[in-house]
Chains A and B, each alone.
Chain A
């Protein structure tokens, strides 16, 4: 799996958009970008994933650069419940193991 790098922490004001960057400059052509988040003492929760195109679902939007070397997860209107550690992962389909980096600890501030 490609290595990803993320800032260790970020703050965001409640109600504002939270933009979480991820660098995956060594990603290969068949690897997807996945985003998960982990709230304290819970298992990681799937947020969104994409290959080349930008994606949007009810939770977030994923913007992937044209060269696919980086991406940004956007939480359009952050709430206090979005406070969590967010993990960006690059992985191919199939059953390959997934390894986690340190993630970004997002603190949403009232």
Chain B
């Protein structure tokens, strides 16, 4: 079945630095990918829709200048958390939909800790 690889699985960074998270569709092309954030004991919250070759669409309340999304190819979307602060510490998950597949495939998630 469709596989979405997310890297890194966890990262610790210092406050004020930037962190890049990669999301790759391994065996299919994904013109659209989605980025979610999940805080402890809460559900997944959609942050943005990543569109290949065009600007991402951000959900209300999500700062586009803080969470930079680049979808430069049909198999790769990246989320960069800029000037990270401790409140950005969270579990970040990406997903993609294969055109002929079964719904949406999710990455394994990235645990970001900002110290």
| A100–B103 CA distance with the chains assembled, in angstroms | 14
| Distance between A6 CB and nearest chain B CB, rounded to angstroms | 11
Within 8 A of A (CB), among B81-113: 91, 93, 95, 97, 102-109, 111
Number of cross-chain contacts by CB at 8 Å? 53
A41 B91 Cβ-Cβ under 8 A: yes
User: B60 in the interface, Cβ–Cβ < 8 Å?
Assistant: no
B 56-99 binary contact with A (CB < 8 Å = 1; else 0): 00000000000000000000000000000000000101010100
User: B26 in the interface, Cβ–Cβ < 8 Å?
Assistant: no
Q: How many residues in B have their beta carbons less than 8 Å from beta carbons of A? A: 25
Q: B46: which A residues are within 8 A, CB to CB?
A: 97-100
| A34–B106 CA distance with the chains assembled, in angstroms | 13
Within 8 A of B (CB), among A28-45: 32, 34, 36, 38, 41-45
Q: B34: which A residues are within 8 A, CB to CB?
A: 97-98
Given A41-B91, A42-B109, A46-B102, CB of A100 within 8 Å of CB of B31: no
- Chain B interface secondary structure, helix, strand, loop or mixed? strand
User: B44 in the interface, Cβ–Cβ < 8 Å?
Assistant: yes
Size category of the A interface is: 20 to 34
Given A41-B111, A100-B43, A102-B43, CB of A95 within 8 Å of CB of B31: yes
User: B6 in the interface, Cβ–Cβ < 8 Å?
Assistant: yes
B107 A43 Cβ-Cβ under 8 A: yes
